[in-house]
Structure 1
Amino acid sequence: MRLLKSTQVTDLHPNIAHRFTRKATRAIILNGENILLLYTKRYHDYTLPGGGIDEGEDNISGLIRELREETGAQNVNNIQAFGYYEEYRNWHKDDYDVVHMLSYCYTCEIDQELLAPEFEPHELQNGMQPLWMNIYAAILHNEMVIKNSEKKGLSIERETFLLKRIVAELL
């Protein structure tokens, strides 16, 4: 899979710091200029659905599971690799200094009807909800949050980059 971007959001050198790697998947599901996203009330941002790959799980199985849990998506099909985003970020738990985050992005299709999501407690607490959104409006919204919000989430810059890349290559 091709590298879309590699970024370092840490003051520690990734080769020296005590680090761990977290692998995740992100789903790109388009319907014209609309894209299936997650809105997070806590951070007031839009992100691609997806999440961490469980131990023993491959990328595709993780993608399908995360889509079902976060959006209620059914019959995930026509899965194609889009690229991955690599980042190094500060980490302040579990005896690590840095997380090496790899987000594997895939285009796919789903049935139009979404079932009820199965959110984890922290996702419910953050006010996550799946929705179809005009991709251009989502980019503008996230750019305003990056510019004006002090409580923005750590993922918004990655997600906004990915949304712009999707527009450039798929629309």
Structure 2
Amino acid sequence: MDLGCNRNKIDCMINERGRGDNKMRLIEDFNLNNDADCTSTFSRTAVRAIIFKDGKLVMVKSEKFGEYKFPGGGKDDGESDLETLERETKEETGMTVIPASVQAYGYTEEKRRSVFNPSQRFIMESRYYLCDVMDHIEETNYDSYEKDYGYHLCVVSIDEAIEQNIIAAEKHHEIATWIQRELTVLKDIKQHL
């Protein structure tokens, strides 16, 4: 399907936090300053979709922790931000991103001791993109841990997502550290969009 856009141009516009007219702003820097004695570092870049449908957000909800998260995940080697956005959105929602609709929104940075390996420093940059999706929904393809967490597609009001993530962050802040990140981005979206 020809969407009337040049994929290479779109990849260049949105890759590496956006350049030129499509630059991203820092939403929040989560630096816990608890990693001074770590002996190794694990760095990761993730790309996440902000999708609105009829005034509500398309999100993924976990039955295990009760939080809402934006569809997305880690970049594979050699992938552009657009390729990651398309792949992760399809895997987690069954929806197809419309490449010409993608706009840089903002990014977060996390620096802390890993919750899975106490001797390791964890650094993650999460890049958020506004995008539209096609109406057709296909089957999701969750990773095994995502299945264990009971992830499933939801369309939710921003206020409900914020309220639920406040509760989930209080209950699960020690292990589910991403909930605070998603809550911060939800509040930012409510303030700026």
The two structures have a TM-score, normalised by structure 2, of: 0.80
1:60 corresponding residue in structure 2: 82
Q: What code does the residue aligned with 2:65 have? A: Y
Return the structure number with greater relative CO, CA threshold 8 A, min gap 6: 1
- For residues 166 and 117 of structure 2, the distance between their equivalents in structure 1, rounded to whole angstroms, comes to 32
Q: What code does the residue aligned with 1:43 have? A: F
Does residue 19 of the first structure (1) align with residue 63 of the second (2)? no
1:123 corresponding residue in structure 2: 146
Query: Comparing both structures, which one devotes a greater share of its residues to helix?
Result: 2
The counterpart of 2:137, out of the listed 102, 111, 114, is 114
Deviation at 1:30, TM superposition (A): 1.0
User: Could you tell me whether the CA contact under 8 Å between 1:33 and 1:134 is conserved in 2?
Assistant: yes
Unaligned runs of 5+ in 2: 1-23
Unaligned runs of 5+ in 1: none
The counterpart of 2:114, out of the listed 72, 91, 94, is 91
Q: Answer with 1 or 2: which has the greater Rg.
A: 2
SS for the counterpart of 1:74 is: strand
- For residues 54 and 89 of structure 2, the distance between their equivalents in structure 1, rounded to whole angstroms, comes to 19
The counterpart of 1:28, out of the listed 50, 54, 78, is 50
- For residues 47 and 176 of structure 2, the distance between their equivalents in structure 1, rounded to whole angstroms, comes to 18
Question: Which segments of structure 1 move beyond 4 Å, counting only runs of 4 or more?
Answer: 92-96, 148-152
Larger mean CA deviation between 83-92 and 102-111 belongs to 83-92
- For residues 104 and 53 of structure 2, the distance between their equivalents in structure 1, rounded to whole angstroms, comes to 18
Q: What code does the residue aligned with 2:98 have? A: V
The counterpart of 2:186, out of the listed 141, 163, 166, is 163
Q: What code does the residue aligned with 1:163 have? A: L
User: Could you tell me whether the CA contact under 8 Å between 2:115 and 2:175 is conserved in 1?
Assistant: no
1:136 corresponding residue in structure 2: 159
User: Could you tell me whether the CA contact under 8 Å between 1:146 and 1:152 is conserved in 2?
Assistant: no
- For residues 77 and 152 of structure 2, the distance between their equivalents in structure 1, rounded to whole angstroms, comes to 26
Q: What code does the residue aligned with 1:57 have? A: E
